[in-house]
Structure 1
Amino acid sequence: MLKIAYHPIYAHPLPEGHRFPMLKYELIPAQLLHEGTIQQENLFAPEPTAEENILATHNKDYWLQLKNGTLPAKEQRRIGFPLNAQLVEREIRIAQGTIDGALYAQQHGVAFNVAGGTHHAGSNWGEGFCLLNDQAIAANYLLNNDLSKRILIIDLDVHQGNGTAEIFQKEDKVFTFSMHGDKNFPFRKERSDLDIPLEDGTNDETFLTKLQEALAAVFKKHQPDFVFYLAGVDVLATDNLGKLALTKNGCKQRDVLVFTACLQHQVPVQVSMGGGYSPNIKTIVDAHCNTFRVARDLYI
């Protein structure tokens, strides 16, 4: 069964100027239900994750500042909006959704989190609308509970997964692979195990060719027993922040390549949705829904 983490708090409104991107968190499951891609039983609402799961990935002082609402104003500006308790709860529910999704994926091959992909959060910082790194937290959960020995994180959001790279820079059991816009945020990149920087205007053909070659290489080199996939749709040509030139079909074929590689190597995969900032919300929702549709067609 396709299991998908979703909680109403995912769509918690941000301060003025940041609310539009949050609409997709309500609209994605609504669209999937409306078209029959999923049923209500496919959705589950995650609880807040345990503090020990957060502290296995993030610095204690940083977490306590988030938890107690004492993060300095400078650090809040780095995140991009002022903090409140509900936004922190949102992040810890997202983190548990990704942990639960990883466990479901081990049973069913694939699982999703409607939100997540908070890859700019490092061990002791938040950045780019990311407070806690959901896939890093879930990866450490699997490792610390002897549920996985070799993890591959495939980050295909248009922005480099700098926080993920920093968290796992000294962890040989986790291979971080980020394919992203070279001249895009974050402007100070961290070093992933494999970084593929892309020029502005990169099209479907170039993107998919590079991705197919990279997937073959990283699966062979790292031989993972679990994959986390960050499936941002800010790679679209229509995206306000992306600078790449992928079509919606190219973005869909990207998902086909990732899921096919996981299936060929018999490796379960958890998917977090990442970014998407096209001016038309329908474009964002449809591109994200394509990722679910591809998984349904390949896994069920």
Structure 2
Amino acid sequence: MLPVVYHPIYSDFPIPDGHRYPLSKYRLLKEHLIDNNWPVVEHRPERLESAQLKAIHDPEYVDALLSGTIPLVKMRRIGFPWSDALLQRSLTSLGGTTLTVDLALAHGVAIHLTGGYHHSHYDFGGGFCLFNDLVLAAQHALAYPHIDKVLIVDCDVHHGDGTASLTAERDDIITLSVHCEKNFPSRKPDSTIDLPLPIGTDSESYLHAFLPCLKLALAQHQPDMVIYDAGVDIHIDDELGYLSVCHEGIAKRDAAVFDACADHQIPVAAVIGGGYRTDHAQLVPLHAELVRAAINTYYPTTWNETNE
């Protein structure tokens, strides 16, 4: 069965009423998989240690966040009020993405039912991101003796600015960001490969641009592992995205990533990434396509007539 990583804390920390962060979607997605008997096995992560954070982030920034002494202006940039529950949630989700790497290396694929904190830079966060789990996970993967190069494929609608800045001087972490060109953040440092798409890009145009870019990145850089940020905020109805990709387009994108990685025998650790609706339940079918695609590629014989 497909390994998935989840912890109840993902949907359990205080945020103000009306906040745009889709807090309940992680719990709803996990319940959807279990209630519909999807062939997944759940793994619970542990909190990441501060020493691992300081391997890629400014130690003073890490200490200030962990102690609650971070300036208010920096917390406003992140987009959450500081709380110990927020920190525990963040550290657990970071541990979840590194656990997803471990499971992917053991099984060929694994999915984290949160993650994708690509707006966190060396000494500041932003866009609901405190620490950068994608770079932390890549760093974790590189500790394995047979992993020399990691490709981060970031398909969130927003540019992976923190990931790009943290890896700018590295040749062992390759970054591919596919995003809306006129969206957050305003300043977009160069990724290894950037694919900015115009506002309103539809499914056919999105796939026509992305799929050859993905194949070229795999062929040119020959990574030993892929970390995939499968944001669904590219959907036409997303409240923080400006692309026009439909549900089927998201399903085809996710299937193409897994199929390409399987064809090259590259293990892939995926995180569900962004997706924003006032009604969080509307995001569940979109995020579930990532899980469906992984099962169809790696565990097709586990499906039966009860799976929806």
Give TM class, smaller chain: over 0.9
Distance in 2 of aligned mates of 1:74 and 1:172: 33
Secondary structure of 1:166 counterpart: helix
More deviation, 10-19/59-68: 10-19
SS across alignment from 2:182? coil
Within-5 A mapping of 1:36-75: 36-39=37-40, 42-75=41-74
Larger deviation, residues 232-241 vs 281-290? 281-290
Q: Deviations over 1:54-107 (max 9, x none)?
A: 111111000001110011011011001211111111111111111111011011
Which runs of at least 4 in structure 1 moved beyond 6 Å after TM superposition?
none
Aligned-pair CA distance for 1:139: 0.8
User: 2:304 — aligned with what?
Assistant: none
Amino acid in the other structure paired with 2:254 = D
| Structure 2 unpaired stretches of 5+ | 300-308
Other structure's SS at 2:196 match = strand
**Residue number in structure 2 paired with 1:8:** 8
| Secondary structure at 1:227 match in 2 | strand
Percentage of pairs with the same residue: 40
Q: Distance in 2 between matches of 1:145 and 1:72?
A: 37
Correspondence list, 1:1-300, <5 A: 1-12=1-12, 13-18=14-19, 21-39=22-40, 42-300=41-299
Residue 282 (structure 1) shift: 3.2
TM-score (normalizing by structure 2): 0.94
- One-letter amino acid of the structure 2 residue matched with residue 9 of structure 1: I
Aligned-partner Cα distance in 2 for 1:179–1:141: 23
RMSD: 1.2
Q: TM-score, normalised by structure 1?
A: 0.96
Look up the equivalent residue of 2:102 and give its one-letter code: L
| Aligned equivalents of 1:147, 1:167: Cα separation in 2 | 23
What amino acid maps onto 1:138 in structure 2? A
Equivalent residues of 2:115, 2:272 under 8 A apart: yes
Letter of the aligned partner of 2:6 in structure 1? Y
Contact 1:234 1:278 in 2 (8 A): no
**SS at structure 1 position matched to 2:22:** helix
- Alpha-carbon distance, 1:20 to partner: 6.0
CA displacement, residues 185-213 of structure 1 (integer Å, 9 cap, x when unaligned): 01111110001111010000110011111
Cα offset, 1:279, TM superposition: 3.9
Q: Which moved more, 1:217-226 or 1:278-287?
A: 278-287
1:217-270 residue CA offsets vs partner (Å, 9 max, x unmatched): 101111000000000100000001111000000011000111111001100001
SS of 2:105's equivalent? helix
Deviation at 1:148, TM superposition (A): 1.4
